[in-house]
Amino acid sequence: MAKTNTFPRLPSAFLISLTVIFLFSPLAGAKPTTFSRNLSPESLGLRREKLSHLHFYFHDIVSGRNPTAVRVAQARMTNTSKTGFGAVVMADDPLTVGPSPTSKLVGKAQGIYACAAQDEAGLLMVMNYVFTEGKYNGSTLSVLGRNKVFNEVREMPIVGGSGVFRFARGYAQAKTHTFDLKTGDGVVEYNVYVFHY
């Protein structure tokens, strides 16, 4: 009889100590397991926000044996649409310091542009500018905007960035430098204004 009485005590003592552990371990300074917390910008090494201006040329080559932009999808109506509505293009376009294709490479524009307007030439641009030059090497800027390609200057938002462009926000202005109506190849001058740390 004495034996059977001692057994039920063990599990209840065990349960109580488990409860104590679960209740008090977060308060006892164990590793924080919280989902969110406040912290100072300095703790991430963020001191003063800077404004940078980047200037480069974007080479969109759709013709020839080595295109840098290829159509990857379209709608049935794309062929009959006067604006190419529904066409989706994947690009890995060189960015250079000058307008010549042999000018020094500073990065690539990687992403998608698509014909998003039915009544005019209007592109949806979803792109990352990936830089390879100097302190910008490996850093990116993300562009998400509307590009009315036949306008003199088109403005697109810079919605973020990585590397030296963490917390980036700003805008890009695109101006066609040359456009070959026959081949569809284009060179576009970009001025990018961006706040970052």
Ligand X SMILES: *[C@@H]1O[C@H](CO)[C@@H](O)[C@H](O)[C@H]1NC(C)=O
Provide the binding-site residues for ligand X, judged by CB under 6 A.
76, 79, 132, 137-138
Q: Report which of 151, 91, 89, 152 is spatially closest to residue 121, judged by C-alpha positions.
A: 151
| CA 132 – CA 139 distance, rounded (Å) | 8
Taking the least distance from each CB to ligand X, the nearer of 25 and 137 is: 137
- Characterize the bridge pairing of strands 140-147 and 123-131: antiparallel
| CA 146 – CA 148 distance, rounded (Å) | 6
Taking the least distance from each CB to ligand X, the nearer of 98 and 138 is: 138
Judge whether 153 and 159 are in contact, CB under 8 Å. Answer: no
Taking the least distance from each CB to ligand X, the nearer of 75 and 121 is: 75
DSSP character at residue 31:
P
CB of 133 to ligand X, least distance (A): 6
Buried b (16+ CB within 10 A) or exposed e, 149-174: beeeebebebebbebbbeebbbebeb
CB of 138 to ligand X, least distance (A): 6
CB of 137 to ligand X, least distance (A): 4
Taking the least distance from each CB to ligand X, the nearer of 25 and 79 is: 79
Sign of the C-alpha dihedral, residues 127, 128, 133, 134? positive
CB of 16 to ligand X, least distance (A): 56
Distance, first Cα to last Cα, the chain: 75
CB of 185 to ligand X, least distance (A): 18
Judge whether 161 and 167 are in contact, CB under 8 Å. Answer: yes
Taking the least distance from each CB to ligand X, the nearer of 81 and 151 is: 81
CB of 131 to ligand X, least distance (A): 9
Taking the least distance from each CB to ligand X, the nearer of 79 and 178 is: 79
Q: Which amino acid is at 178?
A: T
